[in-house]
Amino acid sequence: MITAERKPMEEILECINPYNRILLVGCNECVTVCAAGGRKEVGLLSTALQMAFMKEGRTLEVKEITLERQCDPEYVEELITYIDQVEAVLSMACGCGVQEIARRYATKPVFPAVNTKFMGASERQGVWSERCRGCGDCLLGLTGGICPIARCSKRLMNGPCGGSTKGKCEISPDVDCAWNLIWERLKALGLEKKYEEIMVAKDWRPSWHGGPRRIIREDMAE
């Protein structure tokens, strides 16, 4: 999923300070799962913002709505009923959702209430960690299902650096050494030999370095 984290309240308040009526839009997808911008977080933020305004002797009208998917035009269309009643939109979706609202409602200011972080997996209750950088040319088949692009701090593709200590990365004892994980996994699979194959310099064109990316499915695209 795409993970996110609520922005500091101060920053959010600064964004919406000029307004008295806002639409607070959550998303039922990834940000709900990572507890950053689903219905519940929308309710909580709404109350907190209203209280912050009241404290300053002002009132803030908040229309709360959580869309099925904020990155899809058909769901963002649902906001049409409310958009004229508000001065601005505050979105709790990932950056994709915020941008979809900006695209659809050209004259309405929209602000992000969360910082979009990474594509990750749930490690345990309340903990998410990065798994994929979307490099566009998946090499997990070569590395035992563990990604060195996303999980090695130096994106090394040919083994652990000299800072790997007891299975941890040199930057922090809280970070696993990706190459240690890869090596353990290759051993478990009996594929130690695979490690000795050199991974040549990566072609970064399919990744973010090739400019903004797009997928077109000929059989579906209209």
Partner 1 sequence: MGNFEPVIVAFCCHYCAYTAADMAGSMRLSYPSNVKIVRVPCTGKVDTKHILQAFHKGADGVYVAGCLEGDCHFKNGNIKAARRVARVKKLLSEIGIEEERVEMITMSAGMGERFAQTATDITEKIRNLGPNPVKNIRDGQKQPA
Partner 2 sequence: MKTDSVVEKVLKSGQLVVTSECGPPRGANPDKVREKAEMLRGYVDGVNVTDNQTAMVRMSSLSACIIIKQMGMDPILQMVCRDRNRLAMQSEVLGAYAHGINTMLCLSGDHIHFGDHPMATNVYDLDSVQAIQMVKKMRDEGKFQGGADIDTPPKMFIGAAANPFADPFELRVARLAKKVKAGVDFIQTQCIYNMEKFETWMKGVCERGLHKQVAILPGITPMKTVGMAKYMKNRVPGMDVPDEIVKRMGGVPKEQQAEEGMKIAVEQIQRLREVEGVAGFHIMAIEWEQKVPELVERAGLLPRPKF
* Interface residue list for partner 1 (CB under 8 A): 8-10, 13, 40, 43-44, 47-52, 54-55, 57
Q: By CB under 8 A, is residue 117 in contact with partner 2?
A: no
- Determine contact, residues 6/36, Cβ cutoff 8 Å: yes
To the nearest whole angstrom, how small is the minimum distance from the Cβ of residue 129 to partner 2? 17
User: CB count, 10 Å around CB of 164?
Assistant: 19
Under rule CB under 8 A, how many of the chain's residues touch partner 2? 31
Per-residue burial over 37-66, b if 16 or more Cβ lie within 10 Å, else e, is bbeebbeebbeebeebbeeeeeebebbbeb
Find which of partner 2, partner 1, none residue 145 binds, CB within 5 to 8 Å per kind. Answer: none
Q: By CB under 8 A, is residue 91 in contact with partner 2?
A: no
The sheet with strand 21-27 has its strands ordered as 61-67, 21-27, 88-91, 110-112
Q: Helix (H, G, I), strand (E, B), or coil: what is residue 66? A: strand
Residues of this chain, 121-180, that bind partner 2 according to CB under 8 A = 153-167, 170-172, 177, 179-180
To the nearest whole angstrom, how small is the minimum distance from the Cβ of residue 46 to partner 1? 10
To the nearest whole angstrom, how small is the minimum distance from the Cβ of residue 174 to partner 1? 20
Q: By CB under 8 A, is residue 183 in contact with partner 2?
A: yes
- Site residues (CB under 8 A) for partner 2? 153-167, 170-172, 177, 179-180, 183-184, 192, 195-196, 198-201, 204
